[in-house]
Amino acid sequence: MTPATSRIRIVGSFDDLVNASFGPEVNAICWARQLPGNFDEIAALLQDEEDILSLDEEAIETLRPRLSEQGRIAADILLADRQLLHERGLLPSLECVPRYPRDDDNAVPTDVYSFHADRAPVQADTYLCSYNESSSEGLDNASAQRRIDNPVTRQKLQDLFANEGGDSFDEFLREHCYDLHYAPLPNAVRYSFGIGNMWRIAVEYPGSPVAPCIHRAPDTVDGRPPRLLLIS
């Protein structure tokens, strides 16, 4: 696998994924994998779910009797990946996602379909793996503009702030996460996280040595099976 931008580092093992350093430019580390097994079978069994489900071991084991051998291989991988992160002291969640809530705010939508950075109050990373359907998408930082830096958008937010009131405009932007959302510039470099690859991406936190990785969830297509993903 060839990295799409100089901000991505490709590694070959989970240990390298965990231990590789971010910086000076790198803000996304990818454990590139081609997984065996049939994840679509698991997603098909969850086709009728309306809401986002967090799948624990019991939920996976309940599905297992209805899976073929390839489906069971996929189930084992989901549980093993979850366990890998768990053993590192992280809080992984194996999710079945039919769709995410959409934010129809016309100034700055703040849903996960919009390119955004994650933020944490203390040092943290985001881990992500998509197992079926479409995967998360990244945006090179040089190809992105914070939505709040667009003069038209900023004016709309200033009007909103004037209506709602508050101590400071900057605090207002942070509180609503408006400052975390980005628009792709013309000819932006976007990249797919791909299916089966496990990613560790940089988050915005006080003192972070590197710019956060900008990413988004893929658009949901009606009638398609839910996405299976691991997130921490």
- Which positions touch Fe ion (CB under 5 A)? 118
> Is residue 58 exposed (0-12), middle (13-18) or buried (19+ Cβ within 10 Å)?
exposed
Between 38 and 136, whose beta carbon lies closer to Fe ion? 136
- Of 26 and 214, the one with the shorter C-beta distance to Fe ion is 214
Residue 45 Cβ vs Fe ion, minimum distance, rounded to whole Å: 27
- Which residue number, 41 or 118, has a Cβ lying nearer to Fe ion? 118
CB of 94 to Fe ion, least distance (A): 16
Q: Supply 185's token pair.
A: 């510039």
Minimum Å distance from CB 51 to Fe ion? 19
Contact yes or no for 131/141 (Cβ under 8 A): no
What tokens were used for 130?
A: 């998509």
Q: Please, what is the minimum distance in Å from the beta carbon of residue 215 to Fe ion?
A: 6
State the burial class of residue 55 (Cβ atoms within 10 Å of its Cβ: 0-12, 13-18, 19+). buried
Cβ proximity to Fe ion: between 118 and 179 the closer is 118
Contacts of 32 (CB under 8 A, 6+ apart): 1, 10, 11, 12, 194, 197
Quote the tokens at residue 199: 């990613």
